[in-house]
């Protein structure tokens, strides 16, 4: 999967809302035939039911095929593999999140100082990850794809842009990776479920980290 190019300079708040980028398979044609779109929706509905009933661990290609009453090959042709299927389930949430930080109300969206937007971005990411943690962990890409998944490219590019605005002389490319590491679903799982830390502590820690990096 190819990564999206770096994000351009962010427009003013009065400009046209930036394009919301796709999380899922970039090979997916944007205008599926009506029957193909219905089949895809039926498969995702079946997968969502399995998540609700059994957690993300219960979502296998075989289980989705059985729940949707289709052949296993149909599921593989549509989503490629289990990670692709779970990524597609996260797509709707990702689109809403991108719309919020690219063109929604301040401070998450344009119109607030960059440091305030960084704080709001991290807090929103943390809340979203806690709510969707099982699904995000199940869809976690392999190490060779972890940093090239389009959604993560967009998110890190946004963080790097805000850092450039806040601390223009810093190594914002490296610092943006540092900040995104704090927001990793794997780390959030360890801190919240294995260490028992409340979300509020993670949010305060994020604010402290942003403050330290931006001065």
Question: Any idea where the domains of the chain sit in the sequence?
Answer: 29-80, 90-214
Topology of the domain comprising 90-214 = Tetracycline Repressor; domain 2 (1.10.357)
Q: Cα–Cα distance between 121 and 209 in angstroms, integer? A: 13
**How much is the pTM?**
0.73
166-182 mean pLDDT: 97
- Per the CB < 8 A criterion, the answer to whether 3 and 148 are in contact is yes
| Helix, strand or coil, per DSSP, at residue 61 | helix
Report pLDDT for 26. 40
Q: Tell me which of 101 and 34 has the higher pLDDT.
A: 101
Which long-range contacts link 98-101 to residues 24+ away (Cβ below 8 Å)? 98/20, 98/21, 98/151, 98/154, 99/17, 99/20, 100/124, 101/158
Q: 105 falls in which pLDDT band (50, 70, 90)?
A: very high
What integer best gives the mean pLDDT of the chain? 85
C-alpha 32: how far from chain center: 23
Q: Cα–Cα distance between 137 and 75 in angstroms, integer? A: 21
Q: 161 falls in which pLDDT band (50, 70, 90)?
A: very high
Within this chain, domains 29-80 and 90-214 share the same CATH topology = no
The CATH-assigned architecture of domain 29-80 is Orthogonal Bundle (1.10)
127-146 mean pLDDT: 88
Q: How many residues does the chain have?
A: 215
- Per the CB < 8 A criterion, the answer to whether 125 and 96 are in contact is no
């Amino acid at each position: 999967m190819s990564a999206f190019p770096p994000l351009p300079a962010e427009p003013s708040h009065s400009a046209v809302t930036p394009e919301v980028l796709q999380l899922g398979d970039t090979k997916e044609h944007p205008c599926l035939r009506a029957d193909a779109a219905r089949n895809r929706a039926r498969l995702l509905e079946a997968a969502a039911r399995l998540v609700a009933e059994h957690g993300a661990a219960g979502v296998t290609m075989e289980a989705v095929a059985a729940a949707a009453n289709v052949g296993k090959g149909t599921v593989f042709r549509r989503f490629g593999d289990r990670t692709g299927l779970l990524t597609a389930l996260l797509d709707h949430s990702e689109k809403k999140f991108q719309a919020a930080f690219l063109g929604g109300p301040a401070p998450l969206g344009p119109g607030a100082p960059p440091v305030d937007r960084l704080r709001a971005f991290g807090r929103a990411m943390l809340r979203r990850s806690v709510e969707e943690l099982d699904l995000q962990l199940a869809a976690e890409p392999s190490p060779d794809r972890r940093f090239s998944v389009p959604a993560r490219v967009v998110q890190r590019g946004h963080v790097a842009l805000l850092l450039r605005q806040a601390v223009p002389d810093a190594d914002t490319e490296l610092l943006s990776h540092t900040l995104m590491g704090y927001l990793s679903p794997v780390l959030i799982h360890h801190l919240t479920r294995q260490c028992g830390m409340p979300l509020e502590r993670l949010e305060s820690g994020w604010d402290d980290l942003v403050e330290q990096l931006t001065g």
